[in-house]
Each structure stands twice: as C-alpha cells, then as structure tokens.
C-alpha cells in the first residue's frame, strides 16, 4: 500500500489508474479505523478495482468548541489495518494541503443540512460537503462508500452529488455494532467504563422505539416517548435530540406509516454520540 500525502500525487495516481480503465472506490474517513470503517473498505473492494481510503480529520466540520484537536489519531495503526484489507492507497493529507490559505469557497446543501446534526453543529455539514467535494475532485472515484451510522451526512453528500451533477455513485452501508449493540465510533474511545455502560442505553432506546412500531404503524409521539424514557433512566445521558423523520428529507413525520427513521443524539458525559435506525416496514 502506498501512503499519499500530496494532492497532486494522488491526482496523478488516479489519472493513470483511470487511463488503465480501473474502477476507483473511495472510502472517506477521519481515521482511528474500526470494524465499521473496515466494512466500508470491504464493500469498496467488492465494487471497485482500486481502493483509496482517505484519512483526514477535516477541520471545517468541527465547531470552535468541538473536539478537533483531541480527535483520536493513529496513522500507523490505520495503515496496518488498510494493508491487511488489501487497500491500494491511503490518502492522508495535512490540513494545509486540503485548505490553501484563506479559502472562500464552500458547499452548502440547503434544507437537509439545517436540522438535527446541522442545527446542533452549525457549519458541520458545510464542512462535510466541502471536504467530500474536494476528496471527490482529488480521488475522482467512480464510487464512494459511506456508513448509515451518519445517515444525515450520507443524505447531504448524495444530494450534493446529484445537484452538482457529479459522476460518482454514493453507496450507503448499514451500521456496524458491537455485540452489545453500541454502534462503533471513533469517539467511543473517549468513554470511561461507566460512560460506556450508560451509552448502551442508545441501542436500548432504538429497540424500545422499534418495539412500539413493530411491523405496523405508530404515532411519532409514542415512539419518541419510548426512546426518551430509556435515556431518562440514565443519569449520565443528556438528550440532544430524539426524532422520527422521513429518511429521504430528514423532515419530521407525525406517524410511522411505511418508512420512518429514528435519529438520536445524546451527550454521554463529555462525549456526543449519534445513532439511528429505520422503523416500520424496512428495518436495519
């Protein structure tokens, strides 16, 4: 595997690969890789001839009070994991390589970026959309693989790709969880033992919501109440939001009748965690 740090070098590699007719798969990550990332990498390898994993802690998607500086980083371990998966290239630019001084150009995907994660983390999706467009420009992938763990993020990126007429297929994969149900996340590394136990209320809350809906219908109010009740019993958990939304628009829906997406964001001690699950006819 080759580790590539420069934009021009990555572009040149991709240009040559495309000239050879190779199909390129990109897995954008912020590193500190776990089995959730590895599932995306494996899918990329299934659908592409050459896999690029980008490892870039993107400064523009963090708010000023957020964890950009202390976000966990371990490039050596990430590289070992990528090598074990047969990844061809790891693209790991430093921030100044991706953002030349004083950038004036950003991508804003309106409406879908405004609620939930967008409301709790102002500017977050602008940073995400901007860095994804830059990564698509540098790596020129035929297919880019994302996780539904960040469901709103996938929707924002897919909408950007559609609106900007990008020639990239966006694949979204199910959330990979620990045996105890907690969704894998690089931020789980922040949790103390007690906080980890409290975080297990997240999969329990998703289960409680699923239980209310079953395979039928339910009013959103009842679904949200069931999930909130689980969190309210955990002193270490503070709810940011618990909502049921239309999985395509992320707008609230009054009842689950067909498809609904339960989205949750909580603080567990100092750590903010998000999760989601489909409700109703299609579950995951």
Specify whether 142 is catalytic. Answer: no
Confirm or reject binding of residue 184 to ligand AMP (CB under 6 A): yes
Least CB distance to ligand AMP at residue 88 (A): 18
Taking CB under 6 A as the criterion, the residue among 14, 17, 30, 90 binding ligand AMP is: 30
Of the listed pieces 34-42, 198-206, 212-220, 243-251, which binds ligand AMP according to CB under 6 A? 34-42
Q: Quick one: CA dihedral 237, 239, 244, 248, positive or negative?
A: negative
Q: Which ranges of 51-92 would DSSP assign to H, the alpha helix?
A: 75-84
Q: Please state, in angstroms and rounded to a whole number, the distance separating the CA atoms of residues 179 and 38.
A: 16
Residue among 122, 118, 202, 187 at smallest CA distance from 155: 118
CA-closest candidate to residue 40, choices 129, 148, 183:
148
Span from 5-13, 66-74, 114-122, 171-179 in contact with ligand AMP (CB under 6 A): 171-179
Is 38 one of the binding residues for ligand AMP (CB under 6 A)?
A: no
Does residue 36 bind ligand AMP (CB under 6 A)?
yes
Contact residue for ligand AMP among 93, 118, 141, 147 (CB under 6 A): 147
253 binds ligand AMP (CB under 6 A): no
Q: Is the dihedral of CA 212, 213, 214, 216 positive or negative?
A: positive
C-beta closer to ligand AMP: residue 145 or 218? 145
Instruction: Please report whether residue 127 would count as binding ligand AMP according to CB under 6 A.
Output: no
Q: Strand 24-29 and strand 50-55: pairing?
A: parallel
Rg of the chain over CA atoms, in angstroms?
A: 19
275 near ligand AMP, judged by CB under 6 A: no
146 binds ligand AMP (CB under 6 A): yes
Whose structure tokens read 């994660």?
Answer: 117
Q: 237-245 and 259-268: which strand pairing?
A: antiparallel
Using the rule CB under 6 A, give the single segment among 69-77, 117-125, 175-183, 263-271 that binds ligand AMP: 175-183
Strand partners, 242: 264
What is the binding site for ligand AMP (CB under 6 A)?
A: 29-30, 36-37, 39-40, 146-147, 149-150, 173, 175-176, 183-186
């Amino acid at each position: 595997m080759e580790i590539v740090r420069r934009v021009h070098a990555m572009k040149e590699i991709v240009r040559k690969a495309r000239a050879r007719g190779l199909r390129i798969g990109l897995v954008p990550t912020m590193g500190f890789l776990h089995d959730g990332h590895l599932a995306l990498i494996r899918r990329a390898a299934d659908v592409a001839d050459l896999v690029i994993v980008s490892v870039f802690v993107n400064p523009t998607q963090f708010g000023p009070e957020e964890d950009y500086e202390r976000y966990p980083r371990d490039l050596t371990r990430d590289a070992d994991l990528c090598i074990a998966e047969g990844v061809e290239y790891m693209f790991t630019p430093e921030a100044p390589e991706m953002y030349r001084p004083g950038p004036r150009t950003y991508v804003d995907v309106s409406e879908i970026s405004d609620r939930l994660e967008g409301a709790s983390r102002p500017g977050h999706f602008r940073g995400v959309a901007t860095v994804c467009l830059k990564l698509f420009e540098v790596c020129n992938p035929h297919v880019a693989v994302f996780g539904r763990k960040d469901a709103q993020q996938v929707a924002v990126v897919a909408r950007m790709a559609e609106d900007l007429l990008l020639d990239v297929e966006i694949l979204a994969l199910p959330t990979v969880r620990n045996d105890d149900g907690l969704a894998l996340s690089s931020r789980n590394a922040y949790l103390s033992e007690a906080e980890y136990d409290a975080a297990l209320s997240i999969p329990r809350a998703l289960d409680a919501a699923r239980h209310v809906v079953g395979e039928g219908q339910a009013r959103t109010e009842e679904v949200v109440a069931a999930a909130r009740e689980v969190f309210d019993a955990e002193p270490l958990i503070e709810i940011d939001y618990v909502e049921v939304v239309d999985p395509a628009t992320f707008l609230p829906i009054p009842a689950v009748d067909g498809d609904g997406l339960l989205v949750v964001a909580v603080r567990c001690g100092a750590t903010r965690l998000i999760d989601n699950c489909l409700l109703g006819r299609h579950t995951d």
